[in-house]
Amino acid sequence: MSDPTRHLYPTERLNALSDGVIAVALTLLVVNLEFPKLPPDTTSGALWDALLDHLPHIELWVVSFFIIGVLWLIQHDVHGRQEHVDGPAVLFGLAYLASVSLLPFSIGIVAQHRSNPVSLAWFWGNVLVVGLAMSLQLYFIVRLPAEARHPALRDDAIRRKLVLLVLAVPLAAAVGIAAAPIHPHVSLWSGVPIIAASLATLRWSVAKTRASLVAVE
C-alpha cells in the first residue's frame, strides 16, 4: 500500500531538463574540437598534416559522444518509464545531471593532457560519479510502491536485471581508472565495450519486456 505522506513529482520537467543538459554537453564537445588556425594560402599537404595531427582530438570526441549518448539512452529506457518519482530520485537525478554537465570540462582536460594518466583518471572518475548517481536514482525508483511504478518495473527479476545493467556504467569507469596508469589510449577505450554491451543488453531486455506486457494484455 502506498504511503499517503510521500510526495511524488512528475517526471516531465526533469526529463526535459535532462534532454537539455545532454544537448548542451554534446554541443560543448564540438567546441573542444577547436582546429588550429592556418594561413589562407596553406597547401593541401599542410592541411592534411594538420587534420592528421588533430585526429586524437576527434577520437576523444567520438568516445565522449558515445558515452554521453549511451547515458541518455539508458536513462530514457529505464528512468523515462516513470510518470512520477519521489524526492530522493529527483535529488539523484539532479546529481546525475550535474555530473553530466561537468563532462565537457573533464574531456577538455584529457584533450590538453592526454598522455598524463591523471587526466584519464579524472575523466573516468567523472563518468563514475555519473553512473553512481544514475544507479541511485534507479534504486529509489524501484523502491516506489508497486502501483506507482511502471508495469515493467513491478517484476522483481526485471528490476534486478535493470539495476545490474545500469551498474555497468560505474564498472566501466572503474576499469578506465585502473587502466589509466597502464596506457592512456587503453584507458580511453577500455570502458567502451562494457558500456556498449550494457546498452545492447538493456535494449534487448526492454524490447522483450514490452513484448511480454503486450502479450499479457
What is the predicted pLDDT for the residue at 203?
65
Note the helical H segments in 38-146: 44-53, 55-78, 87-101, 103-112, 117-142
Cα(75)–Cα(89) distance, integer angstroms? 12
Cell matching residue 130: 555519473
Chain-centre distance of CA 8, in angstroms? Answer: 25
**pLDDT for position 217:** 45
pTM of the model: 0.82
What tens digit of pLDDT does each residue of 73-106 get? 877 766 666 677 777 888 898 999 999 999 999 9
Residue with the three cell numbers 537539455? 20
How many Cβ atoms are within 10 Å of 20's Cβ, its own excluded?
11
Please report the pLDDT score of residue 164 as a whole number: 72
Tens digit of pLDDT at every position of the chain (217 positions): 445 446 777 777 788 888 899 999 999 888 877 777 878 888 888 888 888 888 888 888 999 899 888 888 877 766 666 677 777 888 898 999 999 999 999 999 998 898 899 999 999 999 999 999 988 888 887 777 766 666 666 666 666 677 777 788 899 999 999 999 999 889 999 988 888 887 777 666 656 655 554 454 4
Q: How far apart are CA 154 and CA 145, in angstroms?
A: 9
User: Residue 86 pairs with which residues in a beta bridge?
Assistant: 8
